[in-house]
């Protein structure tokens, strides 16, 4: 009954979920306090108080048709508020008409890809990458083209991107701060990518869209700059959500923002709104759209994540693992002591450590740790990491 394509995709499905299920098994056997699960990037810091206050106020209000349909693009005042916030952060002259409210960044990404892609067109994905990108591209008849980043810095290589562009290339996905590495792509890297893409566009007579996936843009440490994509790329679209910045992953609220300088702006906006409807999203959740105008200047306590980053980084470094200290998001991406990172992560289970192989992110020989967990879990994991590392000395 189930399609062959889905059966095939299930066999390649997310290592993140697979390891989380392994963690569930271990918790039942040994108890939650004795399992150190770093598999799932599920924000555990509570939403800012303004979000809770606005939610309470809105739920108890008597706004007419509060739970009814609205324009597929979202409430006009919410779109205007998001545009105003982005004008400040990106420097681009955004208005409500450049914004479409969506069901999280995942929904937004699917809407963008459906709007852009003709069958067989290529989308460049930088590894390490969020694994769902490959399925999202496939959803809309596209072909992912994987381009590796520098294995020591995880910065993109403009020459590799240049070499990967073909006459069939339609888009490049940029995820910064990055999942799984926590790396922020530097302005220099992005400007060199822009130069490489413009050169290829002229050579092939094509237009390439930059899709910036930015759900971690507010989870940033050490005053590191997150460069504005709109200031670097003309044909750029941002997809974002409030899953991480406001700790609302289960509410599925996000948006698409289109650079006002983009080619064929009017047709693109019409396409995005049409795709939102025909993919079955219809519109972003009404209730959580209404809490945004008063909450856009808030963000979660990033100091809590920074403390955990520093704690876990110190633990794994002391144990002997090599790792680039991340500048954003809430992940570490250390090197595996053996090339077979899947086997290494299976070995970690013996120590009640639940970690995700880098293979699941297109980067063999690494593993990911999500440190959006209780600080006690991090502290108590120290002996387990030391014991695991000792097996490979």
Please report the pLDDT score of residue 29 as a whole number.
75
Instruction: Please choose, from the candidates 280, 199, 299, 188, the residue with its C-alpha nearest in 3D space to the C-alpha of residue 240.
Output: 299
Instruction: Give the mean model confidence (pLDDT) for residues 355-362.
Output: 94
Domain enclosing residue 87, as ranges: 50-290
Query: How far is the C-alpha of 270 from the C-alpha of 275, rounded, in Å?
Result: 9
| 182 within a domain of the structure (yes/no) | yes
Kindly state whether residues 54 and 175 are assigned to the same domain: yes
- Furthest-apart CA atoms within the chain: distance in Å: 67
Count: domains in the chain: 2
Q: Is residue 133 part of a domain?
A: yes
Q: How many CB atoms lie within 10 A of CB 333?
A: 24
**Of the ranges 7-21, 72-86, 294-308, 320-334, which one carries the lowest mean pLDDT score?**
7-21
Whole-number percent of the chain with pLDDT over 90? 88
Mean pLDDT of 259-263: 97
> For position 237, which CATH number holds?
3.40.640.10
Single pTM value for the model = 0.95
Q: Is residue 295 part of a domain?
A: no
Provide the mean pLDDT of the chain: 94
Same domain, 226 and 327: no
Does pLDDT of 258 surpass 80?
yes
Same domain, 62 and 208: yes
10-31 per-position pLDDT tens digit: 666 666 667 767 767 777 777 7
**308 in Cβ contact with 325 (< 8 Å):** no
User: What pLDDT was estimated at residue 10?
Assistant: 67
What is the model's pLDDT at position 31? 75
Q: Are residues 106 and 33 in the same domain?
A: no
Confidence at 135, pLDDT banded by 50, 70, 90: very high
3-state DSSP call for residue 199? helix
Tell me the chain's radius of gyration from C-alpha atoms. 21
Structural domain includes residue 220: yes
State the pLDDT at residue 302: 95
The pLDDT of residue 12: 62
Task: Give the per-residue pLDDT at 40.
Answer: 82
Stronger pLDDT, 393 or 100, i.e. the higher one: 100
CATH number for position 19: 3.90.1150.10
Residue 30 pLDDT: 76
Q: Are the beta carbons of 284 and 253 closer than 8 angstroms?
A: yes
């Amino acid at each position: 009954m189930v399609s062959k394509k889905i059966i095939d995709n299930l066999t390649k499905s997310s290592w993140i979920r697979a390891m989380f299920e392994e963690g569930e098994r271990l918790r039942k056997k040994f108890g939650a306090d004795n399992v150190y699960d770093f598999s799932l990037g599920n924000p555990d810091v509570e939403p800012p108080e303004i979000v809770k206050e606005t939610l309470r106020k809105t739920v108890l209000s008597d706004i007419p048709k509060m739970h009814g349909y609205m324009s597929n693009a979202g409430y006009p005042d919410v779109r205007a508020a998001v545009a105003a916030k982005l004008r400040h952060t990106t420097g681009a002259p955004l208005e409500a008409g450049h914004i479409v409210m969506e069901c999280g960044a995942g929904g937004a990404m699917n809407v963008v890809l459906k709007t852009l892609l003709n069958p067989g067109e290529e989308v460049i994905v930088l590894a390490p990458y969020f694994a769902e990108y490959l399925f999202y591209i496939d959803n809309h008849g596209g072909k992912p083209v994987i381009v590796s980043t520098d294995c020591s810095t995880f910065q993109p290589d403009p020459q590799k991107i240049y070499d990967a562009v073909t006459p069939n290339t339609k888009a490049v996905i940029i995820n910064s701060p990055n999942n799984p590495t926590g790396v922020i792509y530097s302005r220099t890297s992005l400007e060199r990518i822009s130069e490489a893409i413009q050169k290829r566009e002229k050579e092939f007579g094509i237009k390439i869209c930059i899709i910036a996936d930015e759900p971690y843009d507010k989870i940033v440490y050490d005053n590191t700059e997150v460069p504005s994509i709109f200031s670097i790329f003309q044909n750029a679209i941002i997809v974002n959500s409030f899953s991480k910045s406001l700790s609302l992953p289960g509410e599925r609220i996000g948006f698409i923002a289109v650079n006002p300088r983009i080619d064929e702006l009017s047709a693109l906006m019409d396409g995005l709104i049409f795709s939102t409807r025909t993919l079955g999203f219809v519109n972003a959740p009404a209730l959580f759209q209404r809490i945004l105008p008063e909450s856009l200047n808030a963000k979660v306590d990033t100091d809590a994540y920074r403390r955990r980053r520093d704690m876990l980084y110190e633990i794994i470094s002391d144990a002997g693992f090599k790792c680039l200290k991340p500048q954003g998001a809430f992940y570490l991406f250390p090197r595996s002591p053996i090339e077979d990172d899947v086997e290494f992560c299976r070995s970690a289970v013996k120590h009640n450590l639940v970690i995700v192989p880098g293979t699941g992110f297109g980067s063999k020989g690494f593993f990911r740790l999500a440190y959006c967990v209780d600080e006690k879990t991090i502290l108590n994991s120290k002996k387990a990491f030391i014991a695991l590392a000792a097996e490979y000395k």
